[in-house]
Structure 1
């Protein structure tokens, strides 16, 4: 016997289909030859997204994450400039090493995003998890590197409502 699909799932499917369809049109430039493939891909992706991320109350997290995007973009660009400067500098100013950074974030999307974003900070690359923290390779081991990483963790923890202290 078939079960009734909740209205929230139908609305979420329509929204996701529209968003993914728009992304497909932008990526393909609206090419007529890509529309059939796009229709199949968009419907499959929207259906799969309902399984992987069921509809639920997430707007606050999404809004807080979207608010981090401009700063993330700036840090990504600065990271590229910093690495290029170090690579082209005649004296190659690097003091590479590893930092084991304990994290307060629970295992899951927040910690995974922190690990991925760490690789875009100037001169750092997340190399995996180590117990309750991350193992991070740094081009320059100094106190500022650890402080930047801890500040970034705090920003993401607040976005995912995993912070310990008061909001700044």
Structure 2
């Protein structure tokens, strides 16, 4: 189980690459693959490290947590509701449709989105406290493509149902 956070590696020049927006990609001369997703590149780097340690396909890789903050320090480029939605929706799409990554084609990765709620008491930067998909009253801050519209009341949806949606990829 790994925690994958393209957020901690991006900069203004690599933002589109990090949040699954269209981009020219980053060419890896070792594999000769042009990655258009930092998440895919991170997952493949983990896979190749495991392979070099002779684990190969014998160990399933799962994403213990990954996400993108909705708020950060004033003026920080690339942090907001849109970027959080696009990153999480892109990651869910990559992990759940069975396409896999360039080095792990056809693989579905079990994934946990970080986080259901913000952690306003957590020490550290503003971003560290603002990864939540929901407000404390269960209203969504944004929809990463998991929420049912219509008859479901977010305020009365059991939290276990929300967790199942996030984990069951």
TM-score by length of 2: 0.21
TM-score by length of 1: 0.21
Pair member with larger Rg: 1
Q: Give the structure with the higher percent helix.
A: 1
